[in-house]
Amino acid sequence: MPIQLFNTLTRKKEDFTPLNPPQVGLYTCGPTVYNYAHIGNFRTYVFEDILRRSLEYLGFKVQHVMNVTDVGHLISDADTGEDKMEVGAKREGRTAWEIAEFYTQAFFRDAGKLNILPSHTIPRATQHIPEMIALIQALEKKGYTYRTSDGIYFDTSKFKEYAKLAGEKNIQGLKAGARVEASAEKKNLTDFSLWKFSPPGTKRQMEWDSPWGKGFPGWHIECSAMSMKYLGETFDIHCGGIDHISIHHTNEITQSEAATGKRFVRFWLHGDFLNMGAKMSKSKDGFVTVSSLEEKNFNPLAYRYFCLNAHYRVPLDFSWENLLAAQKSWEALKGHVLDWQKESVSGSRDVQREETARQKFLECIQDDLNYPQALAVLWEVVRGNFSASSKKELVLEFDKILGLSLDRPPESTSLNLEVQALVQKREEARKTKNFKAADQIRKQLEEKGVLLEDTPQGPRWKLKPKVRDEG
Ligand code: AMP
Ligand code: ZN
């Protein structure tokens, strides 16, 4: 089935057809594992997950590669400052290798909670140093590189199409900004490092021998080397957040195409930012993580639902109030699915009308992943005049793309289990008319932020999200 995607390279929506149908090569820039990923990062990963799920739903066979940057990403994307991994190691008094391992695991745990499918291949930068060196050698042979006192650089004046992704205006703006921090040895303001030398007299935790001396790779060369290794010199789709357009992805294109003489990527897709606002970014660790959401009794999937409210190419403002509204809608949806599953007589299915609704939903997805519109179609089905079994069928099918786990029972987290045990204890106390004990347990539950409701079907509870208490 066809799909249109907005290609940053051509600045328009285009019919997407892969190079070798039905195979699709998809590369998404992965995390730099020196700290937890914040929910802004996860907005981009959720968008990429929906892209992959949509392509798979439409019948493509996606080969998804997402790297882990565990070395070489400097504090500034423009090649200045320290390596983020070494900064993380200093901050926490652990080795750079331990930092990388710890935050890689944390990343996949958080991604799992957001129902983000793991990529088929997860290459780590530290395990692909020979491929990066080979790529730099190829560039050197073709005369694209030069040496300074701190590394091997790419001479961007030799690649005529340098501005093709970001546009000439943006590259000029970038140059103006780069003037302040540019090293005098760089030939052009936009030149970037391919290989950085370990500073003389120091031993870095992560360093490798190379034909040019001991050191470590530049961040951009990592993604070029790993994507081409697993997906070929020309592949279908490459994604990231919009901040990657003018430096990281521009440099990836430049060095890859200079080395191979071929087009690197056919479709470039970029997700716009989640705006956290000044107040929000001042939270405990400087940013909000998946764990911060859970600490406030939000389900990470409510955040996924929140992300579905805006098209991936428009900015989205974060607020706890809007997250609360998203959590309520997500819980309501799950409640409907549960009710439809319970209904013994769920009515007959009208396959014709189901098909019309399915088409309407898919048309939104096929229009450059318009998932906010697709979500509206899902709600039309929920509220519409369908039998329970038709509703269940359609909503769970749509959820294959949206990934909201609408039919998954509540997780057995340790807090959930503890609360469940207390609720049961209170029920027993009430049955034996021990009201004092029952009241005490209710108080205990309230302290844990549990909202308890006694219904004819028995007690129902949920954790009350802590919205106002900023921190
Ligand atoms: P990084 O680890 O910094 O390379 O970022 C990981 C991914 O998150 C990249 O695709 C970035 O473009 C993206 N990203 C960073 N900040 C935000 C944000 N506030 N909103 C959405 N995406 C972001
Ligand atoms: Zn990348």
Residue-wise pLDDT tens digits, 262-281: 999 999 999 999 998 876 65
Residue 121: what residue type? T
How far is residue 200's CA from residue 149's CA, in Å, rounded to a whole number? Answer: 10
Higher-pLDDT residue of 211, 459 = 211
Calculate how far, in angstroms, residue 31's C-alpha sits from the geometric centre of ligand 1.
8
β-bridge pairing 458-463 and 450-455 = antiparallel
Kindly state whether residue 471 falls inside one of the protein's structural domains.
no
What's the total number of domains in the chain?
3
pLDDT of residue 435: 92
Kindly state whether residue 145 falls inside one of the protein's structural domains.
yes
How far is residue 211's CA from residue 230's CA, in Å, rounded to a whole number? Answer: 24
- Answer yes or no: are the C-beta atoms of 73 and 220 closer than 8 Å: no
What residue ranges line ligand 1, CB within 6 angstroms? 29, 31-32, 40-41, 43-44, 240-241, 243-244, 271, 273-274
When computed from its CA atoms, the radius of gyration of the chain, rounded to whole angstroms, is 25
What range defines the domain where residue 459 resides? 417-463
Average confidence (pLDDT) over 430-445: 91
**Reported confidence tier of residue 411, pLDDT bands at 50, 70, 90:** low
Kindly state whether residue 39 falls inside one of the protein's structural domains.
yes
How far is residue 104's CA from residue 80's CA, in Å, rounded to a whole number? Answer: 24
Calculate how far, in angstroms, residue 363's C-alpha sits from the geometric centre of ligand 1.
28
Task: Among 243, 274, 288, say which to mutate for ligand 1: greatest number of ligand atoms within 8 Å of CB.
Answer: 243
For residue 304, give both structure tokens: 């996924």
Residues 266, 323, single domain; the answer is no
Hey, whose CA ends up nearest to atom 7 of ligand 1?
A: 41
For 135-179, the pLDDT digits (tens) are 999 999 999 999 999 999 999 999 999 999 999 999 988 887 777
**Reported confidence tier of residue 181, pLDDT bands at 50, 70, 90:** low
Beta-bridge partners for 64? 26
Residues 353, 256, single domain; the answer is no
For 364-406, the pLDDT digits (tens) are 999 999 999 999 999 999 999 999 999 999 999 999 999 999 9
Kindly state whether residue 408 falls inside one of the protein's structural domains.
no
**CB neighbour list of residue 322: distance below 8 Å, 6 or more residues apart:** 306, 309
Residues 394, 429, single domain; the answer is no
- Answer yes or no: are the C-beta atoms of 131 and 225 closer than 8 Å: yes
Which of 375, 402, 429 corresponds to the end of one domain? 402
> Lowest mean pLDDT: which of 117-126, 157-166, 184-193?
184-193
Higher-pLDDT residue of 216, 278 = 216
Residues 390, 423, single domain; the answer is no
Ligand nearest to the CA of 243: 1
**Reported confidence tier of residue 469, pLDDT bands at 50, 70, 90:** very low
Residue 206 has pLDDT above 80, yes or no: yes
Residue 412: what residue type? S
